[in-house]
Amino acid sequence: MNVLISACLLGFACRYDGQRKEYSAVEELLKERDIHLIPFCPEQGGGLATPRDPAERQGDAVRTQSGRDVTEQYHRGAAMALNLAQTFGCTVAVLKEKSPSCGSGRIYDGTFTRTLTAGDGVTAELLKKHGITVIGESQIKAFLANRAGK
């Protein structure tokens, strides 16, 4: 099974702040011999640099903390993520929670106050529209348990 995954979850230094971060839940995915991870960063794919100014969704737009509209780059990266998922036959994507690109179910509200609101990031939204199941890093254990029928 091929699974699209946010590259940052694998420790790639592609987060907005350019830092690496380890996500212990991903270790469980790496142990699964029949799961092949396809890493991708939609923000970089859309043409944004790393590091980059923090961004949040504001309605249908995505703006940086300094006010720059980066909606086009987010849509371009989302389209690339969808193409990659379809090319590799991914039916599941493990994406970074709360992100304006990858967040699923809850994202920051656009005020840059770290306030969460219901919603999806641009990439998560597009993948879901095309039938790809999107889970966040906190849902990995449940996903693996469900797969194993536990």
Express each pLDDT in 44-97 by its tens digit. Answer: 999 999 999 999 999 999 999 999 999 999 999 999 999 999 999 999 999 999
Q: Taking every pair of C-alpha atoms in the chain, what is the biggest distance, in angstroms?
A: 47
The mean pLDDT of 34-44, rounded to a whole number, is 97
**pLDDT surpassing 60 at residue 145:** yes
Q: How many domains does the chain have?
A: 1
**Range 50-82 burial, b when 16+ CB lie within 10 A, else e:** bebeebbbbeebbbbeeeeebbebbbbbbbbbb
The mean pLDDT of 124-145, rounded to a whole number, is 97
- Give Cα separations from 13 to 41, 57, 79, 98, 150 (angstroms): 10, 22, 22, 18, 34
* pLDDT value at residue 150: 54
Single pTM value for the model: 0.95
* pLDDT value at residue 18: 94
- Domain containing 34 equals 2-148
**pLDDT surpassing 80 at residue 148:** no
* pLDDT value at residue 24: 86
Q: Which residue carries 């993948």 as its tokens?
A: 127
* pLDDT value at residue 22: 83
